[in-house]
Structure 1
Amino acid sequence: MLGLLLFNPFGALSQQAITAAKKQTTKAVTPPKTYVTALTQAGDNLDALLARYGLDGYDCNVSHFLKINNLRNSKTIKAPATYKLPIEIVTYNGKSIRTTLNITDWRVAKRIETFNKFAKEEGLRPDNFLQTKKLWVPWHELNCPEKKETVTAEASLDKNKKERVVALGSGERGIGKSARNFSIFGEKYANTPLISSRLKGKVFYLVSGHGGPDTGAQGKRSGRTLCEDEYAYDVTLRLLRLLLSHGATAYMIVRDPNDGIRDTEFLNCDSDEMTWGNRAIPRDQKERLQQRCDIINDLTRQNADKGVAEQIFIEIHVDSRSHDHKTDVFFYYRPDSEISHKLALHMQKVFLMKYLKKRSQRGYTGTVTARSLYMLRETTTPKAVYVELANIRNSWDQQRLVLKNNRQAVANWLCEALLTQ
């Protein structure tokens, strides 16, 4: 037998071939990736679609969206149409997100968990990944090299760590003998008397969503076009005026040279907004967002250097959903920031009490959710809350936007929350 084995090369060769064949057949085959799909709405562009799912602010999300949908550029998307989103559906192992994805960073895992909760709460997905074992993984969390962590500003920040991009400022400045006239509010509302000093020593950074070349979402009412940026801007201006009237230091980051506070129902859409420091707003979405973050972070650092401890960033938007979807004012806060969470909860509480008092039959369903939006994630102001006012496509919600008294009421309630936090 030994002789046969030694002198039978064909037998040995056959055995090697069999072993190799077995290895080949047992080698794992990588299944194709499965992605979440979404139906575009009338008026959607790629920025709006990605923002709805919390995917905005990442170049790799845009490029991967184009790749998986076989598109050459973002201008080719249509509505209504179904597209794959840069969100991979991964089978959850029932143990942990980190072991499911074979990652070690708990912060990434926590953001993915928060993203799935957000998707459920916002009605973007009907189920819970813990029950269905279908985990949604945003493409940027594992595949974007530009991703970076930001650190909240403190008074002890190194002054020389980063070159300042804006001049040292003290917020909005009035003109005239009493310095209580602010041209940004327009002629009718320029005079802003000092009512109290309850907010003295506190600094606020206010951003109205979109602006410049980006009007944001659009709705239709009585044959007129409603642009998100105009209504968000008007409410934000009204809030700014209230904060200044209580002695706050405040910065209006997105600015229009001639709109002021407007009392008409239909606010004309324009594109002449600038940012603090009279900077033109870029067309590229990521550049737009980063420009605002840079301004806010630089001012935050400057004020921290001066010993200011209470600094708050508020961004105001108008939501965009299907026509039949009513939404109350709701709030997002910076993930892993407990003080931002508490502020958002307090804002929600104030709105709840106002609704119970004024509209008890209708009730209030506004939510508070952690969300890793670009402006929340990349700013360093200690407290950060993102406010969504209404669904610009829903006729009922539009009343909250087009009626001046309603816009003022929203600003009043936001100010009350900031006064009583």
Structure 2
Amino acid sequence: MTLPYRLIWILLLTFGSTLHAEHVMVEVQRGDGIYSLLRRYHLIEYACNIDEFKRLNRLSTNSKLLVGRLYRLPVEIYSYDGTSIRSTTGNDSWERAVAIKEYNELLLQENLRERDYRKDRVLYLPYHIDHCAGPASGSNQPEIVNLGENAGSEEELDRVKDRRQDRDPIAVPEQVTTAGPRTFSIFGPAHAEVPLIDRALAGKIYYIVAGHGGPDPGAIGRRNGHLLAEDEYAYDVALRLCRNILEHGGTPYMIVRDENDGIRDDTYLTPDRDETVWGGASLPRNQKLRLFQRSDIINALYEENLAKGIIDQTMIAIHIDSRHRGQQIDVFLYYPEGDLIGANRADKIHRTLRAKYDQYRPGRGYEGSVSERDLHMLRETKPSGVYIELANIANASDQQRIVRYQNRQLLADWLLLGLMD
């Protein structure tokens, strides 16, 4: 088999077969840029892969790749021990092993590696699995209460497949926004009744997607001995934004749902795993299935609403980033590549946030950004989309933005103003 791109690896001599060696190295082809190269190797969805690629190759933000030169990918090489991924990498997380196995098999399927790792004893470990927020990070999983799931054998990893094409068509229940006070139990008893203030957003539909959930807590932070899980805080802000949209006559769909949480005015939100999606289905353990589950639901709703003549539809994904604890960041936004409508909406939210910072924190300045990103929820959903990162969950100052419920409400209020501008 001839690989479509020249792939080179360097194995360092070690005393133990399970010790990792060097990084995967690739030769840049004509037309390659940082994003297109990382996209080819399925590394673009995690921002930390981009940063690590630049660090490994000593590149700046504006660096261009040189045709014919070898560059290190943020993918380490392990000498597979012939027993299991967990024993090879020295980590007992089963879900982490699943993610590593899926990544290696995906590259094999796309001819980006020549042989199966069990045959050539070369295992690839992408950087994001251990260093980015997400379900594959073995370092994050022990922080969550064990709900009794058993770690499977190596053979069980073979059973984790992308069954997207085998699923039944998505059934989408109807949602209607009516006049007068309305009751929505998903907001919890204290916030269930939602008044209709005006109809500023009438005829507009919003698909609100809180990041992660179910078996995946997302990014993890700690504060005063408490664990902060990204999915809980992103969900609370998403709920508040959803309620704000309803107050102004818009039609929001909460795609990820937790029927027993509601809007919470607590500082520390208890992590759980009982989230579902619109329509009531549980969240799969497999990351790819979870993402396609959400985008499939949104696309089905989009087509139904488009058939009714509703054109103004927007997908809003809400996340919380994880970076070095010393790095403070402002709210930043992504939009789909080439999507001018998404870019315009992201820019309006960005301008609103900047104006609010100038109003309430004069002199501080606002350093949030707007940029294109090739992320699943932006790429695979039919409506124009905006992907929002609220804070760095590891930074003590940024944590104030999410742990105080008043700040979570302000975030939702300012996001609403950006949508109404």
TM-score of the pair, normalised by structure 2: 0.67
Distance 1:319 1:201 in 2: 32
Unaligned runs of 5+ residues in structure 2 are: 1-5, 12-16, 76-102, 111-166
Report the CA distance shift for 1:96/1:188 in structure 2 as closer, same or farther (over 3 A): same
Whichever of the two has the greater Rg, that structure is 1
Higher RCO (CA < 8 A, seq sep 6+): 1
SS of equivalent residue, structure 1 residue 32: strand
Does 2:43 correspond to 1:125? Answer: no
Report the CA distance shift for 1:82/1:225 in structure 2 as closer, same or farther (over 3 A): farther
One of 342, 347, 350 as aligned partner of 2:349: 347
Report the CA distance shift for 1:131/1:295 in structure 2 as closer, same or farther (over 3 A): closer
**More off after superposition, 197-206 vs 342-351:** 342-351
Report the CA distance shift for 1:340/1:111 in structure 2 as closer, same or farther (over 3 A): farther
Name the structure 1 match of 2:32: 97
Report the CA distance shift for 1:324/1:308 in structure 2 as closer, same or farther (over 3 A): same
One of 330, 333, 347 as aligned partner of 2:332: 330
Name the structure 2 match of 1:61: none
Name the structure 2 match of 1:165: 170
Distance 1:377 1:212 in 2: 22
One of 263, 268, 271 as aligned partner of 1:269: 271
SS of equivalent residue, structure 1 residue 323: coil
Distance 1:109 1:32 in 2: 15
Deviation at 1:109, TM superposition (A): 7.8
Tell me if the contact between 1:166 and 1:299 (Cα under 8 Å) persists in the aligned partners.
no
Tell me if the contact between 1:186 and 1:259 (Cα under 8 Å) persists in the aligned partners.
yes
Q: How many residues align?
A: 320
Name the structure 1 match of 2:420: 419
Deviations 1:281-325 (A, max 9, x none): 111111111111110000001001111110000000011111111
SS of equivalent residue, structure 2 residue 400: helix
Deviation at 1:349, TM superposition (A): 1.1
Name the structure 2 match of 1:299: 301
One of 239, 242, 248 as aligned partner of 2:241: 239
Name the structure 1 match of 2:392: 391
1:243 partner amino acid? I
2:305 partner amino acid? N
Does 2:163 correspond to 1:187? Answer: no
Report the CA distance shift for 1:398/1:83 in structure 2 as closer, same or farther (over 3 A): farther
Deviations 1:178-214 (A, max 9, x none): 4511111111111111011011001100000011111
Deviation at 1:170, TM superposition (A): 2.2
SS of equivalent residue, structure 1 residue 279: coil
RMSD of equivalent CA atoms: 3.7
Distance 2:21 2:359 in 1: 43
Report the CA distance shift for 1:201/1:293 in structure 2 as closer, same or farther (over 3 A): same
1:405 partner amino acid? Q
Deviation at 1:347, TM superposition (A): 1.2
**More off after superposition, 177-186 vs 300-309:** 177-186
Deviation at 1:167, TM superposition (A): 2.9
TM-score of the pair, normalised by structure 1: 0.67
Name the structure 2 match of 1:17: none
1:341 partner amino acid? A
Tell me if the contact between 1:217 and 1:319 (Cα under 8 Å) persists in the aligned partners.
yes
SS of equivalent residue, structure 2 residue 343: helix
1:125 partner amino acid? K
1:8-19 to 2 correspondences below 5 Å: none
Unaligned runs of 5+ residues in structure 1 are: 1-29, 36-69, 72-80, 101-106, 147-161
Name the structure 2 match of 1:32: 8
Identity %: 41
1:295 partner amino acid? I
Deviation at 1:163, TM superposition (A): 7.8
Name the structure 1 match of 2:225: 223
2:175 partner amino acid? S
